[in-house]
Amino acid sequence: MKIQRTIALAAMLAAGAPAMAQDFKPTRPVEFIVAAGPGGGSDTFARVVQASLSKSGLLTSPIIVTNKAGGSGAETFIYAKTSPGDPYKLFFGTQDAYVLPLASKLSYSLDDLTPIAAMAFDPFLLWVNPKTSGIEDVKGFIAKAKEQPGALKVGGAKAKEADETLMTLIEQKAGVDLTYIPFKSGSEAAIQVAGGHITANVNNPSESVEQWKAGVQKPLCVFEDARLEDKTVIADGMSWNAIPTCAESGIDVKSFAQPRTVWMSAKTPPEAVAYYTELLKKAAETPDFKAYVSRGAQIPRVLTGDAFKEFIAKHKASYAEMYKTNGWLRAEN
């Protein structure tokens, strides 16, 4: 009896250990923590993932979404640091996870996070209101900016982040002088352009598309290597595909898209990391998520594992470079 039991136990352990390692399955509610306020880009991203997981039955445990938007989202990643190894917490953001510590003194670093996936890439466009600004294309934009240095006001979300970085890149590559005006969100900046209060803004497609349809905003160019793929006509007889790249029209800024990223805290058990990586890969294939990606004219590119880590290292280095040029880089970096 005793021997039998021991053998059985040993067999169970031998067979069970690797099986268990692959078989992480959540038994409690899973928490999604969002590094942005309600209604913001990252918030919509997290809630769409939540909807696509629960509607498709990929994840049966309840999902709770909480927003920790403080300090431009740093609050979320600081929170990640305080709960190391927790397999029930996923953190949603953009490049902010590794870019924020470049400029501000924060108590977390990239080592406190485990990268899980980048689920889509949101491109940036340059927008104007053609009626109030009299600008119809990039040429006109550059000409106007050269005419009165510093007089063109460009709006964007927050200070010393993606939007302002992009604006300084435009200044450098086109050899112009612009004035940046930070707003709380990208959609706020878009409305200011639509109302003719400022000249232009840099924005993700989803934040300005409705104003484009209403004829109060017009995209000048997209900051990507190649044009966007979607050929459905959106407004003015134009599709996303009809918008020229900025590089081909005179502002040599390529591939500035921001990744929609998911993280876990450091020391998360590898089986949990593997589980969520697979889960998010499947989520990206659901109709809900695909609809979200195409609605916002995002680039459907999923990165996980080493490919994602490689991307992070490169992206972080390029931001560090740009921050250095702008004088925003913290001394320790």
Partner 1 sequence: MGNFGQLMDGFAVALTTHHVLIMIAGVLLGLVVGVLPGLGAPNGVSLLLPLTFGMDPIAAIILLTSMYWGALFGGSTTSILFNIPGEPSSVATTFDGYPMARKGEAVRALTLAFGSAGIGAMTGVIVITLLSGWVAQFALRFGAAEYFAVYFMAFASFIGMSGGSPFKTLVSMMLGFACATIGMDTISGESRLTFDWDPLIGGVSFLIAVIGLFGLGELLITMEEGVKFEGVKARLSMTEIFRTLAELPRYWATLIRSAAIGCWMGITPGGPTAASFMSYALGRRFSKRGSKFGTGEPEGVVAPETADHSAGSCALLPMLALGIPGSATAAVMMGGLMIWGLSPGPMLFTTRPDFVWGLIASMYLGNVIAVVLVLATVPLFAYVLRAPFKVVGPIIAVVCVIGAYTVANHMFDVWLALVFGVLGYAFKKLNYPLAPFVLAMVLGDKAEDAFRQALLTSDGSASIFFANGLVATMMGLGILLLLLPAISYVHRRFKPDGAREGVVSVVAAARYDGRDAPATTAGQ
Q: Residues interacting with partner 1, by CB under 8 A?
A: 37-39, 43-44, 47-48, 50-51, 54-55, 62-63, 65-72, 74-75, 78, 103-107, 150-151, 153, 158-161, 164, 179, 181-184, 187-188, 191-192, 194-195, 197-198, 206, 209-211, 213-214, 216, 291, 295
Quick one: 179 or 318, whose CB is closer to partner 1? 179
End-to-end CA distance of the chain: 64
Tell me how far, at minimum, the Cβ of 225 lies from partner 1, in Å. Answer: 27
Query: 287 burial class (0-12, 13-18, 19+ CB within 10 angstroms)?
Result: exposed
Cα 238 to Cα 230: distance, rounded to the nearest angstrom: 11
For residue 159, give the amino acid letter.
A
Q: What residues are paired with 202 via a beta bridge?
A: 126
Strand order in the sheet with 303-304: 63-67, 30-34, 89-93, 258-265, 113-122, 303-304
For residue 213, give the amino acid letter.
K
Tell me how far, at minimum, the Cβ of 14 lies from partner 1, in Å. Answer: 41
Quick one: 15 or 151, whose CB is closer to partner 1? 151
Which helix (H) or strand (E) covers residue 157, if one does?
Answer: strand 153-157
Tell me how far, at minimum, the Cβ of 322 lies from partner 1, in Å. Answer: 14
Quick one: 106 or 242, whose CB is closer to partner 1? 106
Cα 195 to Cα 187: distance, rounded to the nearest angstrom: 12
Residue identified by tokens 């200070």 is 159
Residue identified by tokens 């940036």 is 124
Quick one: 59 or 303, whose CB is closer to partner 1? 59
Tell me how far, at minimum, the Cβ of 238 lies from partner 1, in Å. Answer: 15
Tell me how far, at minimum, the Cβ of 244 lies from partner 1, in Å. Answer: 24
Tell me how far, at minimum, the Cβ of 191 lies from partner 1, in Å. Answer: 6
Tell me how far, at minimum, the Cβ of 24 lies from partner 1, in Å. Answer: 23
Quick one: 291 or 313, whose CB is closer to partner 1? 291
Q: Please spell the DSSP secondary structure of 293-318, one letter per residue.
A: HHHTT-B---EEHHHHHHHHHHHHHH
Quick one: 201 or 245, whose CB is closer to partner 1? 201
**Eight-state DSSP code of residue 181:** E
Residue 26's CB is within 10 A of a number of other CB atoms, namely: 17
Quick one: 85 or 150, whose CB is closer to partner 1? 150
**What is the SS3 assignment for 132?**
helix
What is the dihedral sign for C-alpha 187, 157, 114, 268? Answer: negative
